[in-house]
Amino acid sequence: MVQPEFVARVGEQLVLEFPQDLYIPPDALAVILESFEGPLDLLLYLIRKQNIDILDIPIAEVTRQYMGYIELMQGMQLELAADYLVMAAWLAEIKSRMLLPRPPKTEDEDEEDPRLALVRRLQEYELLRQAAERLDALPRVERDVFPVSVQPPAIERRQEPPKVALDELLEALRTALQRAALVEHHHIQREAISVRERMSLILLRVAEGAVLLLDLLTPDEGRRGVVVSFLALLELLKGGQIEVERDAEGLFLVSVKTEAC
């Protein structure tokens, strides 16, 4: 590699000697070896350490330092990521292209500084590096801020029993009456059945657990028995002592009215 006449250039000013305080001894590199996130990160570090204008990189000097780092990595027998070698090759390519005499400029050909592509990638990476830092600085849930919550009061989720329309109830009565009609003629004697008495009987049965409506309207008492039972049910419903719901199969279920809490 050709020895440059100066080690750095700040704007138009040439720095002829390498400033001692800016030199990165290889030992120091070893310490920070692990902290680089790749070749771009390392290059940015080298460039920033030397206060070089990113738009005006002395490729030869930077490449020399970069290669020093690579050798150090190899010396420490670290597994050298291929990305670092690709960058080394790229740096060498840039330098060699800069050394080549440029063909006279033609109108349609845009001969740009071979360093420009590198500069663009470095600038983009620099932006990303800053973005990552700022992102990390944002207040984060479970690290900086903590959602607040209180124990909600115990909520008993009571499922609303399905509403039973009167005509549905009447339909059930009709079914029961039809069933009763089938067996009515078997009855020879009829008991006198009072509604009040039937109300008590129903309450007693229901108290032991929910009963199907059709089981209460027993056909074996005949049409009259069914009507009395139904009247008793309506009285109890009106008085709020029982409630009628539909079970999963759509059958009417009579049960003791539970107090809403």
Partner 1 sequence: MLTPLQQILEAVLLAAGEPLSRARLEEIMGEEVDAAILDEALRGLAASYAERGFELVEVASGLRLQARERFAPWIARLTPERPARYSRAVLETLALIAWKQPVTRAEIEAVRGVSVNPNILRTLQERGWITVVGKKEAPGRPDLFGTTRQFLDDFNLQCLEDLAARVFPEPAKER
Q: Which spans of this chain sit near partner 1 (rule: CB under 8 A)? A: 37-41, 81, 83, 87, 121, 124-125, 127-136, 138-150, 152
Which lies closer to partner 1 via its Cβ, residue 149 or residue 189? 149
Minimum distance from residue 142 beta carbon to partner 1 (Å): 6
Give the full edge-to-edge strand order of the sheet including 252-256: 211-212, 252-256, 242-246
- Residue written as token pair 């329309």: 165
Q: Are 229 and 180 contacting, i.e. CB atoms less than 8 angstroms apart?
A: no
Minimum distance from residue 130 beta carbon to partner 1 (Å): 8
Which lies closer to partner 1 via its Cβ, residue 40 or residue 233? 40
Q: Are 177 and 226 contacting, i.e. CB atoms less than 8 angstroms apart?
A: yes
Cα 58 from chain centroid (whole Å): 48
| φ/ψ of residue 174, rounded to 5 | -60, -45
Which lies closer to partner 1 via its Cβ, residue 36 or residue 113? 36
Q: What is the CA radius of gyration of the chain?
A: 47
Minimum distance from residue 66 beta carbon to partner 1 (Å): 13
Minimum distance from residue 56 beta carbon to partner 1 (Å): 21
CB-based burial label for 24 (10 Å; 0-12, 13-18, 19+):
middle
Minimum distance from residue 158 beta carbon to partner 1 (Å): 19
Which lies closer to partner 1 via its Cβ, residue 16 or residue 55? 55
**Among candidate residues 109, 116, 5, 106, the one with its CA nearest the CA of residue 56:** 116
Minimum distance from residue 125 beta carbon to partner 1 (Å): 6
Provide the residue type at 57 as one letter: I
Which lies closer to partner 1 via its Cβ, residue 124 or residue 197? 124
Minimum distance from residue 32 beta carbon to partner 1 (Å): 13
> How far is residue 71's CA from residue 78's CA, in Å, rounded to a whole number?
10
CA contacts within 13 A on the Cβ side of 189: 2
**Among candidate residues 80, 44, 94, 85, the one with its CA nearest the CA of residue 67:** 85
Q: Are 62 and 91 contacting, i.e. CB atoms less than 8 angstroms apart?
A: yes
Which lies closer to partner 1 via its Cβ, residue 37 or residue 247? 37
Which lies closer to partner 1 via its Cβ, residue 36 or residue 256? 36
Identify the helix (H) or strand (E) that includes residue 13.
strand 13-15
